[in-house]
Structure 1
Amino acid sequence: MQADLVFWKPLDEPLEPLDFTKPGTEEKFDALERLNESRSVSVHDIRGQESSFSLDRNGFQYVDHEVSGLKDRKSDDEIKELLIPLTEELVKNVTGAYKTITFTSRVRSLAEDSSKRADNRAPAHSVHTDFTPAGALQQLTSILAKHPDAETLKSSRIMVINVWRPLKEIKKDPLAVCDWASVDTKDIVPNRMIFQAGFWNELGKLNWNGKQRWYTMEGQTPAEPLLFKQFDSKWVEEGGMTVPHSAFVDPEFVDEEARASIEIKMFAFVDE
């Protein structure tokens, strides 16, 4: 299908970090919308071809993972209580990780939400990566600051895995992921945000490139979670395998009720 995805326009010079400890930064953040540009791209339905794609080769993988009792969980806390440990085990099984550390999770169940950044519960209609390699390593430093096994964990192969799962069959606002094998890392624009002294995050925005290949799974169900990398230390020299992704509008389902999904992000440590 053809879908409109929101990219960033190419910049003439690097983007200055956004320092939210200083006045006026919220306005600068809002002004970055001037960089948005919509492009019509082909988004291919992966259903029936799932086995042709893998985390190591393409940076993403759809898996079969039925969770008993999920439909009976009503609140966000109940959903997370059930899914987080099961999702950690899933990631271990898929990646061979000996340890995982979940550092964030979010249920998205609103069609629109005026909240910004981490509090927003609506689909993110802008192509992005959750981290750049620098941002992922900064997050790792924060997570492991007081961990008793920090040095052992740091010596492992380290991945950030985002597990995106529908909470009901996806119709409105499906998720598209970009095959990492089609990404030119020069098209990823670092976007650093400073929130307080010593604490910052850096995500990536993406310039459009006609060589990019985009995929989705039509009618994705809660038993078909998507795993995709947001960092892999094995790929640091090749851009870190920070897979771009975005929600998009499917005109066939634009009038459907709001999408319900959960994303669970974790570090996965592999002994290699």
Structure 2
Amino acid sequence: MSTVLAAPPAHPDAQALPFAAPSVEAELNYLAPGTVRPVNYTFEPPAGIPWSSGTLDPRRVTIHNARPLAQNGGISLDKQGFQHVAHASALHDFSDEAQIRDVYLPEAEALLRTITGAAKVVIFDHTLRDSARGSRANAALREPVRRVHNDQTFVSGPRRVRDHLDADEAAQRLQRRFAIINLWRPLNEVEQLPLALCDARSIAPDDLVPTDLVYRDKTGETYSFLANARHRWFYFPRLRADEVLLLKIYDSREEGTARFTAHTAFDDPHTPDDAAPRRSIELRALVFWD
């Protein structure tokens, strides 16, 4: 993947503390070792069954301010598995599902083509989140996820191609490189529950725990993560609505590139008491190269 956009401009508050702090110490929720294969539900599960299984293993970690590194061109999808891009949306009212479909999704598709040089982009879902009003019981408005995870696995990534393309095209596309990318945008300046992103190069195979994601009509698969002192975490303080994050959540190329990363919302110790709720939209897209 090659980035063709200019480096993002510096945030206007870049010299203000605590914004300029080189790192923060915060707690992230990993999965405890020895846990039986976890299961997460996307809808209210049957009585007596928890929304999410698996014992959490909270760990205090250092999360580095990624803005200086990104400003110098040191962060990319293919190295760390995530990337920051300056991009203002033409859509301002994200409460209108029709406008999201007609304005935002085509705009996001064009942005992904530009950044990756892909021949084809297929957006297959999107999710609105709100830390004050969202809940896991509301499919239209979810809450931020506070577990370290990745949205796809080496099993579910190729399955997505078969789910969203006809059989003949899927068979052809699976012979060539493709990726799945999460495009994450805040809808207001992020004052609480920012997104922590793990450098893909610091993740070991033994850290991955396949996890069932249960829909009403099927069961998908994501990764939960075991703690590893080698994990190197980053975040972008005070991310604005005219900035987006791209997260590599699957790549079929096996050598020379980040294949996925890990991410989670976290409680920033610099969050003011009167911080606005975090509102965001994310979408997941298949990206194909010829």
Q: Could you tell me which residue of structure 1 aligns to residue 28 of structure 2? A: 5
After superposition, the Cα gap between the structure-2 partners of 1:61 and 1:240, relative to the gap in structure 1 and judged at 3 Å, is: closer
Amino acid at match of 2:78: D
Are residue 66 (structure 1) and residue 85 (structure 2) matched?
A: no
Amino acid at match of 2:237: E
TM-superposition CA deviations, 1:116-172 (whole Å, max 9, x none): 49666111111111111101222222112x366333322221100000011111111
Instruction: Give the conservation status (yes or no) of the 8 Å contact 2:148–2:262.
Output: yes
Amino acid at match of 2:266: F
Instruction: Give the conservation status (yes or no) of the 8 Å contact 2:41–2:52.
Output: no
1:52 match: secondary structure: coil
After superposition, the Cα gap between the structure-2 partners of 1:270 and 1:167, relative to the gap in structure 1 and judged at 3 Å, is: same
Distance 1:261 1:18 in 2: 21
Superposition RMSD in Å: 2.8
Consecutive unaligned residues in structure 1, runs of 5 or more: none
Q: Could you tell me which residue of structure 2 aligns to residue 163 of structure 1? A: 183
Q: Could you tell me which residue of structure 1 aligns to residue 13 of structure 2? A: none
Amino acid at match of 1:122: E
Instruction: Give the conservation status (yes or no) of the 8 Å contact 1:18–1:25.
Output: no
1:86-235 to structure 2, matched below 5 A, reads 86-111=107-132, 113-116=134-137, 121-144=142-165, 146=166, 149-193=169-213, 195=215, 199-235=218-254
* Sequence identity percentage: 30
Distance 1:258 1:153 in 2: 40
Question: How many residues are matched?
Answer: 262
2:108 match: secondary structure: helix
**Bigger RCO (CA 8 Å, 6+ sep):** 1
Are residue 261 (structure 1) and residue 283 (structure 2) matched?
A: no
TM-score (ref. length: structure 1): 0.85
Distance 2:82 2:111 in 1: 14
Structure 1 residue 32 displacement after superposition: 1.7
Structure number with the higher helix fraction is: 1
Q: Could you tell me which residue of structure 1 aligns to residue 260 of structure 2? A: 242
After superposition, the Cα gap between the structure-2 partners of 1:206 and 1:38, relative to the gap in structure 1 and judged at 3 Å, is: same
Q: Could you tell me which residue of structure 2 aligns to residue 15 of structure 1? A: 37
Distance 1:204 1:238 in 2: 21
1:253 match: secondary structure: coil
Distance 1:169 1:80 in 2: 23
Distance 2:282 2:202 in 1: 24
Distance 1:203 1:58 in 2: 19
Structure 1 residue 224 displacement after superposition: 1.5
TM-score (ref. length: structure 2): 0.81
Instruction: Give the conservation status (yes or no) of the 8 Å contact 2:38–2:53.
Output: no
After superposition, the Cα gap between the structure-2 partners of 1:183 and 1:16, relative to the gap in structure 1 and judged at 3 Å, is: closer
Distance 2:167 2:287 in 1: 15
Instruction: Give the conservation status (yes or no) of the 8 Å contact 1:18–1:28.
Output: no
